[in-house]
Amino acid sequence: MKASTILLLAAAIVNAAVVPTAPAPNANAADKRQILGGITSLAGKGGKVPDPAGASPRRVELGSNSTKAGLGQAHPGQKVVKLREGPYSVINMNKMSLTGEAGALWNYPDVGVSKPCEGNCTIIGLQAGLEYPDGTNANIDSGMWLHHMVFLVKGPGRVDATCENHRGVSLPHLDVGATPQTSERLFSSGNERTPLIVPKDVKAGYKINDKDQFAFIVDLMNDNMEDKVVYLTMTYTILDGHPEDYETFRPVWFDVNQCGTSEVPSPQPDGAFTIQSQPWTPTFEGRVLGLAGHLHDGGTNLQVKTQRANVCNSTTTYAGSPEFIPKAGGMGDMGGMEEGEHSDEEAAPAAGESESMPGMDMGGEEEAGHSHGGMARRDGGHGVEHISNMKSCYGMKWGNNEVAGIQDLKKTDTWTIVGHYDYNEHPGAKHGGSDKPANIMGIAIMFVIENL
């Protein structure tokens, strides 16, 4: 890493402490720690490494069959491409990260992310994953966690809808050398790996230009007693160029700690409680394709609402499939070790809700450290059930679809998200083997076809 980058990161820590910032009633000291991700590799605490000998190809062409790839039904002329980014070395449970967490690669910025096309193309599907060098899946059952990743796009005309007017430092953007006025958060995933899908009867996509640059913030966890090397995968469904009959959608990122690290302290050690975002008033209008939420272990559901209606209720499913369950006797199965996940929901979808993502399909830290479900290091929880899915809302129908116009984004509306947790129903993660609850999240990402 260049010395200038290190200086920028150091200056940002100071700036974050002295620049008056708006909102974020849930902001906490962990915000300053996100900056440390950029110097992780310098300290020998993991980070991006060369491809191991014999590693599978970095680019895998999957043809046009997005259904087979788990990304929905086909649009005419679509292509499906899996790109393997990294690889990233993740320290083992015997080693501590710069932020004092064992087995963690914490909010590591990667500004060298590949694009699925040369020149222009249109994204109509996305899904994140985690793989070992040989291409096999890396998940809780083998002691690895895609704790979260954030996908940012930097380029001309890119503006983050909900951080654009944030005063002071916006940490996710700073982490990749950008600002909310020069980049936007397009996508995110936790270990639940929820896809974003544009249905085949919706002619809209995210249009990539040749000057756009991709960047990831990568947060991984390793429950094993040896270092691991893994690739973060992104499977793209794309169309060549910018088809004239396809409209453009924009991402809208809701967060209980907006423009920060997304994590907030758990307000209580047990029982039921809620966390809430600040209200957001749109600066543009359009048609909502859909949205999905993200919570940590202990979460039951996340509501997205306006003053007119409850728009979406994104509910959690725990331990929905074997790869989300720690192997018996493994580190993730030990008491005092836990690290969470996200998910789609088990119950039958309600009106306007899907097991993937919205009209598209889609799937996100303070002194207490991370919290999802897996290890004594960050979380030190005690359960072995972790979130494996979160239900999405999609199409033009919502939880209260009798409210006229709720499928539209209007400048007269005020949007809020509320994350519901119940530690009696689902034990939350603990910090560092103690009884102190680990930090938690509340995030939703919505996609809107902007009125132009």
Q: How confident is the model over 348-406, as pLDDT tens digits?
A: 333 334 444 433 434 333 333 443 343 333 443 334 688 999 988 875 444 443 333 34
Closest among 113, 122, 123, 81 to 213, alpha carbons compared = 113
Answer yes or no: is pLDDT of 29 > 80.
Answer: no
Which residue is listed with tokens 């620049």?
19
Average pLDDT over residues 185-199: 91
Confidence band, pLDDT 50/70/90 cuts, at residue 32: very low
Average pLDDT over residues 240-259: 96
pLDDT of residue 376: 34
Count of H helices and E strands in the chain?
3, 23
pLDDT of residue 359: 39
pTM of the model: 0.82
| pLDDT higher at 211 or 431 | 211
pLDDT of residue 71: 64
Measured from the Cβ of residue 2, the count of other Cβ atoms closer than 10 Å reads: 7
- Residues in contact with 18: Cβ distance below 8 Å, sequence separation at least 6, in sequence order: none
Average pLDDT over residues 283-312: 91
Whether residue 314 contacts residue 293, with contact meaning beta carbons closer than 8 Å, is answered with yes
pLDDT of residue 117: 96
Which whole-number Å values give the CA distances from 148 to 128, 216, 398, 441, in the listed order?
10, 10, 27, 11
> Counting beta carbons within 10 angstroms of the beta carbon of residue 31, is it exposed (0 to 12), middle (13 to 18) or buried (19 or more)?
buried
From CA 379, how far away is CA 49, in angstroms rounded?
26
Closest among 265, 79, 111, 105 to 176, alpha carbons compared = 111
Residue 237 has what DSSP assignment?
A: E
Confidence band, pLDDT 50/70/90 cuts, at residue 292: confident
pLDDT of residue 68: 56
> Counting beta carbons within 10 angstroms of the beta carbon of residue 347, is it exposed (0 to 12), middle (13 to 18) or buried (19 or more)?
exposed
Q: Which of 77-91, 140-154, 326-340, 355-369 has the lowest mean pLDDT?
A: 355-369
